Amino acid sequence: MSSKYICLIGLLALSVCMATAFAQDSSLRVVGAGTVQVPADTVIIAVSAQNESENATIAAARNSELLDRAQESMIAAGAEEEEIMPDRSKGYMTSRKLICNTVNNTTTCRDMVANVVAERMIIRLKSSDQNQTQKVIDAAESVGAEAVIWGYALSDSSQAISEARKKALDDAKARAEDYASSFGFNLSSTMQIEEPTYPEIEMGPTYSWYMPRSLHHMFGMHPFERMDRFFEDDYIPEGMAEVTAYVSVTYKVTPA
């Protein structure tokens, strides 16, 4: 028997062994997703003051004094000092008006300059209690400031992420069992679990229509356009956080 023929027989035997090994150790990889909704634990409140004066410096000083009083009032209502962001945003706008008066058929006009000055501070109130949130808002408004809820946040997402991952694993297993049975296999042990991306966290909408005109322009938003979310299938209620986790799982499968 020639050495070439012996070599071919050896390669054929190796191929049969490899095919048998692959049949015995077949695997199935699937991706699962899991979503949970939990109450947000942080409320973002914007407190602002606005003044109009011919003297912009005086108007700015009045705003700062008003926000200082609002801060004291909110702390007295239960807000923590560290929940109030130290940096405040300020904005200025100047308008000119021509004011004319007619007395004894004589008209006199004067050019009047008006400075509109605004100042805003942000409070990240760590609370899911709506009554406490409203109490802090009322405290700010009691001194003359304007206070609105800008949104919500989830500062501690560990438990929600854990629950979402468990749901994602259950989803992956259900998909794998469905795929395996469709191709005549039985699902065996789990071989590998990966998390292809970090869990996503989305917050529920804010229903307050108040938003600075600059932000409306920046994001191209319109109050009534935001109402579309009421009719979406993936609607997230106000004050809720939605956490979605993804897992990639490889299972060992065996012939049925």
pLDDT band for 233, please (50, 70, 90 cuts). low
Q: What confidence tens digit (pLDDT) does each residue in 6-46 have?
A: 332 233 232 333 333 344 568 899 999 999 999 999 999 99
Show the CA angle centred on residue 229, arms to residues 224 and 235, nearest 5°.
160
Alpha-carbon gap, residue 85 to 76, rounded angstroms: 17
pLDDT at 149: 93
Partners of 153 in the beta sheet? Answer: 42
pLDDT band at 177 (very low <50, low <70, confident <90, very high): very high
Please name the fold of domain 43-153: Alpha-Beta Plaits (3.30.70)
Cβ partners under 8 Å of residue 197, min gap 6: 246
Give the chain's mean pLDDT. 80
Cα separations (Å) of 134 from 26, 54, 106, 141, 250? 59, 35, 55, 10, 49
Q: How does pLDDT run across 125-159, given as a tens digit for each residue? A: 999 888 999 999 999 999 999 999 999 999 999 99
Tokens representing 245?
A: 């986790």
pLDDT at residue 211 greater than cutoff 90: no
Tell me how far the alpha carbon of residue 199 is from its chain's centroid. Answer: 12
> In this predicted structure, what is the pLDDT of residue 235?
81
Q: Please compute the mean of the pLDDT values over residues 205-211 and round it to a whole number.
A: 48
Domains 26-39+157-204+239-255 and 43-153 equal at CATH topology level: no
Q: Give tens-digit pLDDT for 47-90.
A: 999 988 878 888 899 999 999 999 999 999 999 999 999 999 99
> Which conformational region is residue 64 in: left (phi greater than 0), alpha (psi within -120 to 50 degrees), or beta?
alpha
- Whole-angstrom Cα distance, residue 202 to residue 164? 13
Q: pTM, whole model, 2 decimals?
A: 0.65
Task: Give the pLDDT mean for 172-193.
Answer: 91
The pLDDT score that the predictor gives to residue 5 is 33
> What residue spans define the domains of the chain?
26-39+157-204+239-255, 43-153
Q: What is the assigned CATH class of domain 26-39+157-204+239-255?
A: alpha beta
